[in-house]
Structure 1
């Protein structure tokens, strides 16, 4: 798997996307399993995946951060996407999505903790946010486990979610 290495964890590598990676994004988000808790709650179209790829490339060039391609460190296979990008409120927002076959392996906690450490080491901002669907208790558990605190409800495209926030001090308290 190619693409510039952004950072590594014990089992995962965050890489920059490349032209042609819309196929990976589409494969990841072509099932209801990986999209049911996202805005829209439906599999992503090919056009949406191509637009997301363009967005990821533009965000990285402009902001120095985006959602990245996540691959296995062991064999390089594509596992999902994760990263931190600027949300429309101007705050940095962490998000991740993995294939259903990769769930239950601790990848979300591993990548979320590493993203938080990477973000604060780069001193991009004093805090970042994340949000989940109210029914996505697994993701809420991951965010709390890495030290994020619930900030309250948030509405995204008319759907209520749960918003979390993290500061560097909050992260240091759990490491």
Structure 2
């Protein structure tokens, strides 16, 4: 994955030294409430996610990468693209709770919208969002994604739990 830079962020592939930052997020029930309905991840689930992202990177040149503050190098979330089972590319973002409400998700995700269109030549992107997650739905709408339907999370590679997800789509 080409490292993407925004005004305040650098988004890059995960490195082994980033694992503690990821563990901090996925072991916090508040952070996971819209991802796994609050269930935290085991070491095996973390390993699986990192391996899956390495696979996306090797196959497609993109993944959900580490988003770090350019000024300090602090990893504050993950943002990027991954291919779903149906072949579409999902635009996704998780920002650590200490940094919510500061526009980081929109800023980073917008860089991936531009990359998907201008570099990858994609024509559409989708986002899958837990229906009660009003903040993520607002980010999606700011980016130009539009609500399409409610699906079962099991219909995508990204969400294996049986929970409803709001499915958003945008034309590039």
Corresponding residue number in structure 2 for 1:97: 94
Unpaired runs of at least 5, structure 2: 154-160
State the SS of the aligned residue for 1:129: strand
- Residues 99-125 of structure 1: CA distance to partner in whole angstroms, max 9, x if unpaired? 110101110111111111111111342
Distance 1:119 1:125 in 2: 5
- Residues 59-117 of structure 1: CA distance to partner in whole angstroms, max 9, x if unpaired? 10111111000000111111011100101121100111111101011101111111111
Corresponding residue number in structure 2 for 1:62: 59
Residue number among 23, 28, 40 corresponding to 1:26 in the alignment: 23
How big is the shift at 1:150?
A: 0.9
How big is the shift at 1:163?
A: 0.6
1:6-85 aligned at under 5 Å gives the runs: 6-39=3-36, 41-85=38-82
TM-score under structure 2 length normalisation = 0.90
State the SS of the aligned residue for 1:65: coil
Unpaired runs of at least 5, structure 1: 169-175
Distance 1:53 1:27 in 2: 15
TM-score under structure 1 length normalisation = 0.88
